[in-house]
Amino acid sequence: MGSINTPDFTKGFPVDGLPNGGMIQGKLGDEDVVLARQDDQFFAVGASCTHYHAPLAEGLIVGEELRCPLHHACFSLRTGIALCAPAFDAIPRWRVERVGDSVFVREKLAALARYPEANVPKPPHSPSSVVIVGGGAAGLAAADMLRRKGYDGPLTMISADDAAPYDRPNVSKDYLQGPIPDEWMNLRLPDFYKEQRINLVLNSRVSSIDIQQKQIQLHDGKSYEFGALLLATGAEVIKLPIAGARDSDVFYVRTWSDAHALFKRIEIAKRVVVVGASFIGLEVAASLRSRGVAVHVVAIENAPFERTFGPEVGRFFRELHESHGVVFHLGKTVTRLNGNEAILNDSTKLHTDFLVLGVGVRPSVTLAEQAGLKVDRGIVVNEYLETSAPGIFAAGDIARWPDPHSGQPIRVEHWVVAERQGQVAARNILGYRERYDAVPFFWTQQYDVALKYVGHAEKWDDIQIDGSLDAKDCVVGYKQGGKTLAVATIGRDVQSLEFEAGMEASLRKQPRATHG
Ligand SMILES: Cc1cc2nc3c(=O)[nH]c(=O)nc-3n(C[C@H](O)[C@H](O)[C@H](O)COP(=O)(O)OP(=O)(O)OC[C@H]3O[C@@H](n4cnc5c(N)ncnc54)[C@H](O)[C@@H]3O)c2cc1C
Ligand code: FES
């Protein structure tokens, strides 16, 4: 039990061994525990993130929050509660006792109630009913938060998908590399919806919203009244007609069932042409290579990710994929499919078993447009994520919100942003009037490279690289007029968290604990 590197907390730990804001992982019997210090207070909490089990001791302490190094979930050191997505479940905590110059971790504390959260005050506002349109990241995070905050009324979530909310980022990653058990994909197990009285209506598409009557209509003729409405309809793939291709020759990757269909074909595939060299195209390419399938990537741009990350990072990703055997055909497009041959616009012929298309998405805003809500390349929301119609909120890929960090109205397609917006929209549905001011964050995983991106830079006049891309150890800063708008990091998780905390501090952010 315990060694010089992994202390045994039952034997005490020297107070001076832990600086203010520091933490260390150790053992308590069989359990891995993080001991953390904030001023003169010591906290002992579970060592694994409840999202994908990252080691929290490799993260960052910000005030009384412990932040995860992988996807920036935040936990309260005091209560263990998951304050912000992508983690939903609390981490365990233990009583800590200071004796002289040592701190001892004692017994495990009982988990606090979660639905509703322990000691949660009555919400300022309780709508007669809440309807959420969309069963993805934002929709589920909102439903979860409504129940956490003690909303007791009727709660309906309507989804065009055939599966309950699932881990969409995995659709192009682990799931395709699989097989993985279905439980890994479900964000919540079926009992959750029953226990929390969430009326989850799957395979159902909302066709119209009547703002005056406060009613939504489904394609199948059913209708639901709402006291408050959250639109979380996400994005839909852009389809590219390819001459000569039958439906069974072309795969798009947005939903779990898309991935399931593709997975079955990968099992017998030998060569595949992927169209598109952005996130979906290249994550799928990496997954196909991990299954031994030969991959050619055809893309109109001259370097992967050039518009998002600039030429240097683009070059790095191109070489990364090439080192795994991917062949690029950049500045080109597929004009037709002739049996098992993809014909490019320069007449190159590529043998392929089928095509995977990852050429982008567009926000699903038709419902909002038809209802007369303000739409401008996304549903326009204010800082509280409320649309132009009071009582109707929007979150996730569809929402264009006033980002206080860039000073611009922005819309992004990031998992953590969608979930956090769902959480904030839920609190605002309950009358908390909380501004959405989280710093945008996303990640991508390709082979052994995880890139994290914090902030938002649509354009820049300078890119600074600290460290080495090729060594997979760097911070890439995107600057405009001398100000760093965003950083991309590889192998520098703490710096990614520090940059995020710095951006928050520059807004003089109020402690999240007031709502947590
Ligand atoms: C394959 C893939 C991998 C990704 N990987 C990453 C990643 O690594 N990191 C990252 O940060 N982001 C990633 N993303 C992006 C991320 O998944 C999205 O930003 C996020 O899912 C957006 O959440 P959302 O709730 O807005 O929309 P979605 O999750 O798309 O959910 C939208 C929901 O609305 C439903 N819907 C749509 N229209 C209607 C209607 N009219 N009626 C009823 N229901 C409707 C849909 O069926 C769906 O349930 C990935 C996306 C994909 C597709
Ligand atoms: S593993 Fe912690 S946020 Fe994903």
129 contacts: CB under 8 Å, gap ≥ 6: 153, 154, 155, 156, 224, 225, 226, 227, 228
Taking CA atoms only, the protein residue closest to ligand 1 atom 9 is: 443
Nearest ligand to residue 66 Cα: 2
Please report the pLDDT score of residue 281 as a whole number: 97
**Vertex 402: Cα angle to 396 and 405 (nearest 5):** 100
Nearest ligand to residue 159 Cα: 1
Q: At what angle do helices 279-290 and 311-323 cross, to 10 degrees?
A: 20
Structure tokens at 155: 């709660």
Q: Can you give the pLDDT of all 516 residues of the chain as single tens digits?
A: 445 578 999 999 999 999 999 999 999 999 999 999 998 899 999 999 999 999 999 999 999 999 999 999 999 999 999 999 999 999 999 999 999 999 999 999 999 999 999 999 999 999 999 999 999 999 999 999 999 999 999 999 999 999 999 999 999 999 999 888 888 899 999 999 999 999 999 999 999 999 999 999 999 999 999 999 999 999 999 999 999 999 999 999 999 999 999 999 999 999 999 999 999 999 999 999 999 999 999 999 999 998 899 999 999 999 999 999 999 999 999 999 999 999 999 999 999 999 999 999 999 999 999 999 999 999 999 999 999 999 999 999 999 999 999 999 999 999 999 999 999 999 999 999 999 999 999 999 999 999 999 999 999 999 999 999 999 999 999 999 999 999 999 999 999 999 999 999 998 754 444 343
Please report the pLDDT score of residue 513 as a whole number: 43
Nearest ligand to residue 68 Cα: 2
Q: How many other β-carbons are positioned within 10 Å of the β-carbon of residue 408? A: 12
- Ligand 2 is surrounded, with C-beta below 6 A, by 49, 51-52, 54, 68, 70-71, 73, 86-87
- Ligand 1: which atom is nearest the Cα of residue 237? 53
Is there a contact between 251 and 358 (Cβ–Cβ < 8 Å)?
A: no
Strands 327-330 and 155-158, how do they pair?
unpaired
CA 397 centroid distance within chain: 11
Residue 85 Cα to ligand 2 midpoint, Å, equals 9
- Ligand 1: which atom is nearest the Cα of residue 443? 9
Residue 172 Cα to ligand 1 midpoint, Å, equals 12
Residue 142 Cα to ligand 1 midpoint, Å, equals 14
Please report the pLDDT score of residue 178 as a whole number: 85
Structure tokens at 512: 């999240």
Please report the pLDDT score of residue 143 as a whole number: 98
Q: How far apart are CA 365 and CA 387, in angstroms?
A: 12
Please report the pLDDT score of residue 170 as a whole number: 96
Residue 114 Cα to ligand 2 midpoint, Å, equals 20
Please provide the DSSP assignment of 125-182 as one string: ---S-EEEE--SHHHHHHHHHHHHTT--S-EEEE-SSSSSSB-GGGGGTHHHH----G
- Ligand 1: which atom is nearest the Cα of residue 361? 53
Nearest ligand to residue 46 Cα: 2
pTM of structure: 0.97
Taking CA atoms only, the protein residue closest to ligand 2 atom 4 is: 71
Is there a contact between 168 and 136 (Cβ–Cβ < 8 Å)?
A: yes
